[in-house]
Amino acid sequence: MLKTATRQMEARTMSKQPLNVRLRRGRGALARHGIFWYPVRFLLREQDGRYRVRWWRGCEFASPGIIPDTITTVSQGDIVDSLWNDRTERRKIRVCPSLVSLDKKRLI
C-alpha cells in the first residue's frame, strides 16, 4: 500500500523528472537572489532556458535589485521547486532571513 501511495505522489509531483519538465505555470518555487533563496511563483519558460517568475510580495531582499511582487527572469541554476528526498541539497539552501523571522513570530 505504501509503495502505491509513493508512486502516486511521484506521478502527481513529477519528482523524478528534470526541473524543466516539472515546472508548470503557477507552481511555487524558490529562486536565488544574492546568497539567499526567496519564494516565487513560476510563470513561463523563456526560449533561452531562463524562467520568468513573480517574487513573493512579502520578500525583504538582503541585496538590492529586485522589488517584491514584480516579475523577473532567473536562470535554471537559480531556481528549485522541490528537493523531495534530497537532504544534502535541501541543507544547502539559505532561505531569506525575513522568512525565518516570520516563522519565529508565528511560534510566539
The per-residue pLDDT for range 8-63, each reduced to its tens digit, is 877 777 767 777 777 888 888 899 999 899 999 999 999 898 999 999 998 888 88
pTM: 0.74
Residue 98 sits at φ, ψ, to 5 deg, of: -65, -35
Work out the percent of the chain whose per-residue pLDDT is above 90: 32
18-107 topology per CATH: SH3 type barrels. (2.30.30)
Collapsed DSSP state (helix, strand, coil) of residue 81: coil
- H-helix or E-strand containing 43? strand 36-45
- Of residues 81 and 105, more confidence is placed in 81
Domain borders along the chain are 18-107
Alpha-carbon distances, residue 91 vs 13, 17, 19, 57, 95 (angstroms): 21, 21, 19, 25, 10
Dig out the grid coordinates for 106 from the structure. Answer: 508565528
